[in-house]
Amino acid sequence: MVSFLRFLINGISLGSVYAIIALGYTMVYGIAKMLNFAHGDVIMVGAYIAYCSMQYLGMPAIVSVLAAMLVCTAMGIIIEGLAYRPLRSAPKLAVLITAIGVSYFLQNSALLIWSSNPKVFPSVFDVGAFRAFGGELMITSETILTIVANIVIMIALTTFTGKTKVGKAMRAVSEDRGAAQLMGINVNRTISITFAIGSALAAIAGVLLCSAYPTLQPTTGSMPGIKAFTAAVFGGIGSIPGAMIGGLMLGVIEILGKAYISTELGDAIVFAVLIIVLLFKPAGLLGKPVNEKV
């Protein structure tokens, strides 16, 4: 029983990292209607910025997280402006390929700047661990922090898109870009803001990912990025609570699958569950089915 709980907690810990990345994916998809495959690599850059500010410039953890957010926000706006904006009216496939190109560009730039030598990320928020069952069960502070950050970000995003003027503009752009423009909403600016927020989230996700799993190298963001994308699809892409639930479930399924079925089949189990869910609920767990108008 204790070992089951231990696996469950490890699963939630992994899942909450997926969830926080998935929030960025789902946010950009929900509003700009594009899959930003470079999201995982923005995470990696964010983690590197935080790492460098802490190790080389000696900044405290909070300041380095803010620095990473600032750099990633700027980078998100620049990427959107240079790579995606010129393709606004191009076919979706062209944007998707460009996103993959941006992903490679970021990875290879990171290789040039930071080299392929992996770095070990320092523990950012180490305040010990919470214990139960006479020390048998342990929850690390990183896990608790990641979960809290997830909930805070989820509530903040939901409030932001629901209540504020910019948030309402985002929803309008998401529903009908043409109509939003006719109503006087600056579509380009709204999408830029979306990318800025998504990239700032990526920076936070990068720091949390590397605090929990401290190996940092230029490919660090790719696999968690793909898993988080899966989580976003699982929960219903475009839905903010969906991303969170999808991420948590994915993490738990992955760990329990590895623990009780086979470590070799861990990832296969995750994707098999995804296929089954999509067979019964094609829009994901919380996604709204879209009726194609003819």
Partner 1 sequence: MKNIKTLISLLLVAAMMLASTAVLAEGALKIGVIGPFTGGAALYGLACKYGAQVAADEINAQGGLQIELLCEDDEHDAEKSVNAYNAVLDQGAQMIAGTTTTTPCLAVSAQAFEDRVFMLTPSASSAKVPEGKDNMYQVCFEDPAMGVFSAQIISENALATKVAVIYNNADDYSTGIYQNFKAKCEEVGLEIVSETTFTDETTDFSVQVTAAKDAGAELVFLPIYYTPASRILQTAKDMEYAPVFFGVDGMDGILALEGFDTSLAEGVILLTPFSADSTDERTVDFVAKYQAVSGGDIPNQFAADAYDAVYALYNASINAGIDGDTAAEDACEMLIAEFATLEYAGLTGDMTWTPDGKVSKMPNAYVIEGGSYVAFEG
Question: For residues 54 and 122, is the Cβ–Cβ distance under 8 A?
Answer: yes
State yes or no: residue 273 binds partner 1 (CB under 8 A).
no
Residue 51 vs 84, nearer CB to partner 1? 51
Residues of this chain, 12-41, that bind partner 1 according to CB under 8 A: 13-14, 17
Residue 242 vs 257, nearer CB to partner 1? 257
Q: How many CA atoms lie within 13 A of 87 on its CB side?
A: 17
State yes or no: residue 261 binds partner 1 (CB under 8 A).
no
d(CA 52, CA 174): 36
Site string for partner 1, 82-111 (x = CB under 8 A): -----------------------------x
d(CA 47, CA 65): 9
Q: Which residues contact 223 (CB under 8 A, 6 or more apart)?
A: 40
Q: Which two tokens stand for residue 266?
A: 């861990």
Helical packing angle, 222-235 and 240-260, nearest 10° = 110
Residue 26 vs 140, nearer CB to partner 1? 140
Q: State in angstroms the smallest separation of the CB of 258 from partner 1.
A: 4
State yes or no: residue 120 binds partner 1 (CB under 8 A).
yes
d(CA 185, CA 188): 9
Q: How many residues does the chain have?
A: 294
- Of the residues 48, 51, 195, 234, which one makes contact with partner 1 according to CB under 8 A: 51
- Of the residues 118, 141, 273, 281, which one makes contact with partner 1 according to CB under 8 A: 118
State yes or no: residue 254 binds partner 1 (CB under 8 A).
yes
Residue 263 vs 291, nearer CB to partner 1? 263
Q: Which two tokens stand for residue 236?
A: 């219903």
Q: Which two tokens stand for residue 41?
A: 């690599």
Burial class (CB in 10 A: 0-12, 13-18, 19+), 115: exposed
Q: State in angstroms the smallest separation of the CB of 233 from partner 1.
A: 18
State yes or no: residue 52 binds partner 1 (CB under 8 A).
no
CA distances from 25 to 29, 128, 217, 245 (A): 6, 31, 21, 14
**Of residues 238, 234, 228, 226, the one with CA closest to residue 285:** 234
State yes or no: residue 1 binds partner 1 (CB under 8 A).
no
Q: Which stretch binds partner 1 (CB under 8 A): 34-42, 66-74, 190-198, 208-216?
A: 208-216
Phi-psi region of 284 (alpha: psi -120 to 50; beta: other; left: phi over 0): left
State yes or no: residue 6 binds partner 1 (CB under 8 A).
yes
State yes or no: residue 127 binds partner 1 (CB under 8 A).
no
Residues of this chain, 214-243, that bind partner 1 according to CB under 8 A: 214-215, 217-219, 222-224
Residue 80 vs 254, nearer CB to partner 1? 254
Residue 241 vs 266, nearer CB to partner 1? 266
Q: State in angstroms the smallest separation of the CB of 125 from partner 1.
A: 15
d(CA 254, CA 92): 31
Binding site for partner 1 (CB under 8 A): 3, 6-7, 10, 13-14, 17, 51, 55, 111, 115-122, 129, 135, 138, 140, 209, 213-215, 217-219, 222-224, 254-255, 258-259, 263-264, 266-267
